[in-house]
Amino acid sequence: MRRAGASVAGRVKKSAKQAKVSAQLRIRRGSARDIPALVSLIRELARYERLESHIDLNAKRLRRDGFGRRRFFESLICTRAERIIGYAVYYFAYSTFTCGPVLFVEDIFVLPEERGKGAGKALMVELARAAVRKGCDQMEWLVLDWNAPSINFYQGLGARLDKEWVLTRLTGARLRRLARTR
């Protein structure tokens, strides 16, 4: 009996602790005042994804493109006890196959020391809500094939990995060369 009582007390204590951790989480829309934090977190994401050499981050362009007159993306900020611990950047595309809008998640990132504490799930839930509010039938994003923790996390949310499609990209000089083609 003592052991069962200790187990129940342990669960209650753990649940109370989890509720406290979750209660401190807040997801809000990003704003121009978040640019310094976004820049820092985007650099952290590039480092985590081993893509630092690919980054060409510019705070002025980020401010213009996310918070200016013609916005190309929207953002969510995740805070715990007023400290920014994660973010998501997303935009809307269109699927001709389903004849409907699609929410595309460009970035989702939570600081390593904050992972496993509900921040990533809270961001994904808010992204799903944004998708549903806009009438989207789907939400899509990319994950690196070696990133097993993220893949497991997404699958745990019910996401399906689609290995049939290959990401195709034109950048820089190749993009400009194609644009000049007559």
- Closest by CA to 23, choosing from 124, 122, 126, is 122
Are 123 and 107 within 8 A, CB to CB? no
Q: What residues have CB less than 8 Å from 155, skipping those under 6 apart?
A: 161
> Using CB atoms within 10 A of its CB, is residue 161 exposed (0-12), middle (13-18) or buried (19+)?
exposed
Catalytic residue IDs = 154
The C-alpha atoms of residue 139 and residue 91 are separated, in whole angstroms, by 10
Are 120 and 108 within 8 A, CB to CB? yes
With b for 16 or more beta-carbon neighbours within 10 A and e for fewer, the 33-52 pattern comes to ebbebbeebbebbbeebeee
Instruction: Report the residue count for the chain.
Output: 182
Phi, psi of 31 (to 5 degrees): -140, 170
